[in-house]
């Protein structure tokens, strides 16, 4: 129970079990002093709504436990106008939040490689383009298709193919910055998003480095196999003003690179 300014007037015994504070340690303090900083503004807004007569039944925020960690809580609250107090009843929802985060992760990531999937890539690419547009910045998109994967998959079976894809994902991650994004968008197709990459030359250097990382043989129970990659590059804003345009251009250039590589192989044979 709190006053209009959020000063704590009463807490039940469950408050101490949940957050570790004895009543004497919190009476007179404001609830806002116990909140996670990121939840402070939203909680102030909800408190104002409650005092305007709206009953809040499923509002969530995080309170700091006496030991220092944060506890996820879901609240129901209402305003007793005749008493001038706000009453809130909360319950801990840590397990629920963990389950929700797991579902969110599964919806946005590839189950085999744990890389972001196409849906997550589009969301992040849209954000990156908008940020680059507002700051007059740059970014690059690399569209990568594995050369030789189908033959390796046919020879070793799906288990071997899965092992190769997981290792490809790790090699790609090892070859980019922490701020970059590597996504799996198809069977053996990957996209690398390079925020802040200024030009084609910089993107080409990254692409060459990634191809080099994929060159060492992949060890499999039935023997090692070698792969290469065809990579198409598109840069913002030179090659497109939207994420969709950049992906399409990078995709076209990837297929052009693959056709050129095939033509050279035919000429050599």
Q: Indicate whether 119 and 208 sit together in one domain.
A: yes
Q: Which domain holds residue 56?
A: 13-97
**Both tokens assigned to 58:** 């499923």
What integer pLDDT is reported at residue 55 of this predicted model?
A: 77
Q: Indicate whether 186 and 80 sit together in one domain.
A: no
Q: Indicate whether 32 and 130 sit together in one domain.
A: no
In a domain, 6, yes or no: no
Alpha-carbon span 235 to 116, nearest angstrom = 21
Q: What is the mean pLDDT of the chain?
A: 94
Weakest mean pLDDT among 95-109, 211-225, 246-260: 211-225
In a domain, 4, yes or no: no
Query: Exposed, middle or buried by CB within 10 Å (0-12, 13-18, 19+), for 72?
Result: buried
Q: Indicate whether 174 and 237 sit together in one domain.
A: yes
In a domain, 145, yes or no: yes
Residue 115 has pLDDT above 80, yes or no: yes
**Residue 112: what are its φ and ψ, rounded to 5°?**
-80, -50
Q: Indicate whether 141 and 165 sit together in one domain.
A: yes
Cβ proximity of 141 and 234 under 8 Å: yes
Q: What is the CATH number of the domain that holds 144?
A: 3.30.70.270
Count of the separate structural domains present in the chain: 2
What integer pLDDT is reported at residue 268 of this predicted model?
A: 67
Closest CA to 214 of 169, 154, 150, 171: 171
Which whole number is the average pLDDT over 10-17? 94
Cβ proximity of 79 and 53 under 8 Å: yes
- Quick one: pLDDT band at residue 253, thresholds 50, 70, 90? very high
What integer pLDDT is reported at residue 266 of this predicted model?
A: 65
Weakest mean pLDDT among 4-13, 128-137, 209-218, 259-268: 259-268
Which whole number is the average pLDDT over 37-43? 95
3-state secondary structure of 133: helix
Alpha-carbon span 260 to 262, nearest angstrom = 5
The distance from CA 219 to its chain's CA centroid, rounded to whole angstroms, is: 30
Q: Indicate whether 80 and 119 sit together in one domain.
A: no
In a domain, 5, yes or no: no
In a domain, 103, yes or no: no
3-state secondary structure of 266: helix
Catalytic residue among 145, 188, 239, 251: 188
Judge if pTM exceeds 0.95.
no
3-state secondary structure of 217: coil
Residue 264 has pLDDT above 80, yes or no: no
In a domain, 134, yes or no: yes
Where is the domain boundary, 47, 70, 97?
97
Helix and strand numbers, DSSP H then E, in the chain: 8, 7
Which whole number is the average pLDDT over 77-99? 93
- Quick one: pLDDT band at residue 139, thresholds 50, 70, 90? very high
- Quick one: pLDDT band at residue 269, thresholds 50, 70, 90? low
Task: Tell me whether residue 199 is one of the annotated catalytic residues.
Answer: no
**Helix (H) or strand (E) run with residue 144 in it:** strand 139-147
Q: Indicate whether 85 and 185 sit together in one domain.
A: no
Q: What is the CATH number of the domain that holds 86?
A: 3.30.450.20
């Amino acid at each position: 129970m709190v006053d209009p300014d959020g000063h704590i007037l009463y807490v039940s015994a469950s408050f101490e079990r949940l957050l570790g504070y004895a009543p004497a340690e919190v009476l007179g303090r404001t609830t806002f002093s116990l909140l996670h900083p990121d939840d402070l503004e939203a909680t102030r807004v909800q408190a104002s709504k409650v005092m305007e007569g709206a009953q809040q039944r499923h509002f969530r925020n995080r309170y700091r436990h006496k030991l220092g960690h944060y506890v996820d809580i879901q609240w129901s609250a209402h305003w007793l106008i005749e008493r001038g107090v706000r009453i809130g009843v909360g319950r801990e929802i840590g397990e629920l939040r963990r389950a929700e985060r797991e579902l969110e992760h599964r919806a946005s990531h590839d189950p085999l490689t744990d890389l972001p999937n196409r849906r997550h890539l589009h969301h992040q690419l849209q954000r990156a383009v908008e940020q680059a547009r507002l700051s007059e910045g740059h970014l690059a998109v690399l569209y990568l298709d594995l050369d030789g994967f189908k033959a390796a998959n046919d020879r070793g079976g799906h288990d071997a193919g899965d092992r190769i894809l997981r290792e490809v994902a790790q090699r790609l991650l090892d070859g980019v910055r922490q701020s970059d994004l590597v996504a799996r968008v198809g069977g053996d197709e990957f996209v690398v998003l390079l925020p802040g990459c200024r030009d084609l030359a910089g993107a080409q250097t990254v692409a060459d480095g990634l191809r080099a990382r994929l060159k060492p043989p992949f060890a499999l129970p039935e023997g090692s196999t070698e792969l290469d990659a065809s990579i198409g590059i598109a840069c913002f804003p030179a090659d497109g003003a939207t994420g969709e345009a950049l992906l399409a251009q990078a995709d076209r250039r990837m297929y052009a690179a693959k056709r050129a590589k095939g033509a050279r192989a035919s000429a050599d044979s």
